[in-house]
Chains A and B, each alone.
Chain A
Amino acid sequence: MEFIMSILIGALFSVGTYLILSRSLLRIVLGTAILSHGVHLLLMTMAGLKRGAAPLLGEEAGAYTDPLPQALILTSIVISFGVTAFFFVLAYRAYQELRTDDMELLRGDDDE
């Protein structure tokens, strides 16, 4: 399972990187979203998959999955959501002010 998950994560990273390298701001934001999906699945996979029940002690199971990466991923999800939301509004405002979302045109002034 980990093997095909790793392949899938590689594909997520590839697509995320590809989108980040494009010209449109919206595609870049979507690229970061896909990259963070890849990272979360990577964290999950690296801890080992399906090693028991969900980490709820009421389940009375013999083995539980590792709760620590889940806590880390939960933190990461919230943070990447905050950043994505901020980034998206930034892109929206940049478009409003500068009338373009093409990264090749957003190069700043020479005197900056």
Chain B
Amino acid sequence: MKPNNVILQTVTQVAVFIIFTFSIYLFMNGHHNPGGGFIGGLSTAAAIVLLYLSFGIEKVRENIRIDYKKLAAVGVFIAVGTGLAGVIFGQPFLTQIFGHVQLPIFGDTELASALVFDTGVALAVIGTAVNIILSICEDR
């Protein structure tokens, strides 16, 4: 007997898009408002877990071809590389810099190097959280 999942899958197709958008919003406004890299990564991991819940593990693995162990390693590498970038210019470790850049569409935008560090933190959190849940649900 095949189970009937049509309502859950139809709701998931809409809800995952909204959760991804909300996680990007939480990730981008962590400088002046509540949010940041950690909670943005956890929201993205929650959206991926919702996909695994409704579509099963095989179909998502065919469509999202990401090795989560390598993703966590790349996140830690980006964070450490952001810290080492200050050492090259003679500053202490993990020195951050910010400046105003003229972007083509957005105009005068303040960019900080803490955004790259937060990207590394978010990738490490996504990789570890999804990897823990996938390791639990595979019984070997």
Is chain B a partner of chain A in the same complex? no
Interface residues of A (CB under 8 A from B): none
Interface residues of B (CB under 8 A from A): none
